[in-house]
Structure 1
């Protein structure tokens, strides 16, 4: 039997359970003195199995979403960097800027065969610059997409019990967080 089922052993002398509220897979006991929260265990969670908050330290109950905002910021930054590169690589045609005059290309100038060939190779390489810029932009956008997926996967719905002077108690829920938050808020008010 887990502690969430033996809450009477955690009560102070004279403390009584006023209401039990299940918030998703989490269980919260509202007592005459405190709020006892038993967050549902998750595989990647290092949170405590049990948190208690004295009634005067409860600042409120809210429902919302939590996520890795750093991943979102990185996704936006990489996108801002990538889009101009892709646009520049597609719109700007660098090969049009570098071309040899027709008279030089046709060998009209005596003794310039090797130099013309060298310049033709250099100009040919420079003509590929726009494709390289577009590929770099596509790489930036791929990194942005990776951070976007990371942000999306980090999103959790939570019911948060605000605690004055300490870390808030966050209860992860799958759905119906507004209803769970309302029931918990009502139970704390009536205690």
Structure 2
């Protein structure tokens, strides 16, 4: 699927360091896709090449959560691709309560925000749609936008995107922070 992330391994030869790694993909067809390399490898790929899709377990689980569900997040770092308009991702639902174990104990970390000129959110819904987040609550976690860890497109010196913790549209919503933190440093 467009924007998925894959790990490619097993390439040998002079260009191997450029072929092997974890990459977002684009121009996806039935049996082919493209991905951006850090530099021109200068040679064709050879070896016993394997390709596997990277699974973002947090996002997959959050897509299954029903409205009006309380979600308790334990301590640790939860990698998420978050949500961006016209890109997609998991979306919070009305009445959900997302509760971490405390600031700096539970962290939602945005990873592989790969579409240029988009605004990524760790927790969001499509504010241009009719699915408002009435009675939504979020509390007791830290968001790491991870700008220094996002893929930099070839030919660019920086990551061309924006990042925020939350984008929530709806009635009677609560974002509870206790000495909150938003890490946007590199």
Into which bin does the TM-score normalised by the smaller protein fall? under 0.3
Larger Rg: 1
Which structure shows the bigger proportion of residues in helix conformation?
1
- What TM-score comes out, normalization by structure 1 length? 0.21
Q: TM-score, normalised by structure 2?
A: 0.21
Higher strand share: 2
